[in-house]
Amino acid sequence: MNIQISKEALLPALTHVCGIVEKRQTLPILGNVYIKTNNNQLTLIGSDLETEITTTLENIIAVDGETTVSARKLFDICRSLKDESMISISLEANKMLLTSGRSRFSLQTLSASEYPLLDTSENEFDFSVTQAEFSSLLGSTAYAMAQQDVRYFLNGLLLEVGNGLIIAVSTDGHRLAKNKISHPSLSGEIKQSIIPRKAVQEISKFLNTDSDENVHIGLNSSHISIKANNYQFISKLIDGRYPEYEKVIPKNLDKNIVLDKIMFSEILSRTAILSNEKFRGISIKFESGSLIVTSRNPDHEEASDEMTIDYQGETVEIGFNVNYLLDAVRGCHSETVQFEFKDSSSSGIIRESKESDKIALIMPMRI
């Protein structure tokens, strides 16, 4: 193997691949990046046994070969070099020699044949959407995923595909986010797949939020694969049954109020300062012509703020986690948000408009 490549070409690819390499591994080789050159094409692969990312660089000056080397060390070396540096990489026995200008590095390698690549079976679904659509679908729902819940199936995002739709849902048991996009070519019964939290975060990194270029998605019973730009991402799916989320979305919320997004967000942020640091509870009171937000903490400190609203119904006061409300409001890409509720014990739903398919549900809490 012998590679001649610029820092500008190599570093972005290494950045994505190294993102899934864990600092602590069960196998030493999992701390390495797999490197292969073939027909002037450079392939880099990173894996943690659950997820795998591959990127390819074309028209590289290289002699065919393959090896693995420490992902973190190679990334740090490349990042430390001056911009516009040319990098030369070669193999000598079990060492990788990297030179750039007067800088020289010798790195320990491990055999490429020992690198554990994910073995995926044929996909049951293969479809494409624009990167902007898929990025928006994930971004509008991923924030509600659980982090380390014992109900392991909540530590991921539910993707439902079929019946002409792609639906994304996440919940941590206290809030729920749902969004969907139409895809007429996806006929047949809906298939459910639970994508792990780490995989969702990594996929989001290489999707272009403003691009009309397609991202290609493949699904089978155990894996999801994503192809976009020069990257291919594969992840094992979470094996479990997702809760029947439709049952917790109330259908009889008879009070709908349109709120100025910026003003509502600012009021929540101000009152949050004096909320309980652990539970983050605030009280929202809807009364004739006004919305009043109040917070208190164990030090007997209190904050209150209000805004004028178009509401003439009965007085209703509901407790919510203010962080959950702020996440929902900030996820709306509109000047106003719609707040739907029923009574003091009901969940609240926030959406961009009455017709919006994107909803954020927040469970009430006792203040």
Distance CA 320, CA 194 (A): 27
Q: Both tokens of residue 36?
A: 């292969």
Contacts of 6 (CB under 8 A, 6+ apart): 84, 85, 86, 87
* Pick from 50, 87, 39, 42: nearest CA to 67: 42
**Cα atoms found within 13 Å of the Cα of residue 330, Cβ hemisphere only:** 14
Return the sign of the alpha-carbon dihedral for residues 125, 130, 133, 136: positive
Q: What 3-state DSSP class applies to 325?
A: helix
Q: Which residues of the chain have pLDDT under 50?
A: none
pLDDT attached to residue 367: 81
- Name the CA dihedral angle for 350, 354, 355, 356, rounded to a multiple of 10 degrees: -20
Burial zone of 260 (CB within 10 Å; 0-12 exposed, 13-18 middle, 19+ buried): middle
Domains and CATH numbers, the chain: 2-114 (3.10.150.10), 125-247 (3.10.150.10), 249-362 (3.10.150.10)
pLDDT attached to residue 25: 81
Q: Show the DSSP H helices in the chain as ranges.
A: 7-18, 71-80, 131-139, 197-206, 261-272, 322-330
Q: What 3-state DSSP class applies to 248?
A: helix
Q: Both tokens of residue 323?
A: 């962080």
Rg of the Cα trace of the chain?
25
pLDDT attached to residue 178: 98
| pLDDT tens readout for residues 81-130 | 999 999 999 999 899 999 999 999 999 999 999 999 987 778 988 999 99
* Pick from 362, 304, 365: nearest CA to 337: 362
Q: What 3-state DSSP class applies to 213?
A: coil
pLDDT attached to residue 302: 97
Distance CA 267, CA 199 (A): 34
CB 194 within 8 A of CB 158: yes
pLDDT attached to residue 206: 84
Q: Both tokens of residue 351?
A: 């959406």
Q: Spell 135-172 as b/e; 16+ CB within 10 A means b.
A: bbbbbbbbbbbbeeeeeeebbbbbbbbbeeebbbbbbb
| pLDDT tens readout for residues 6-17 | 999 999 999 989
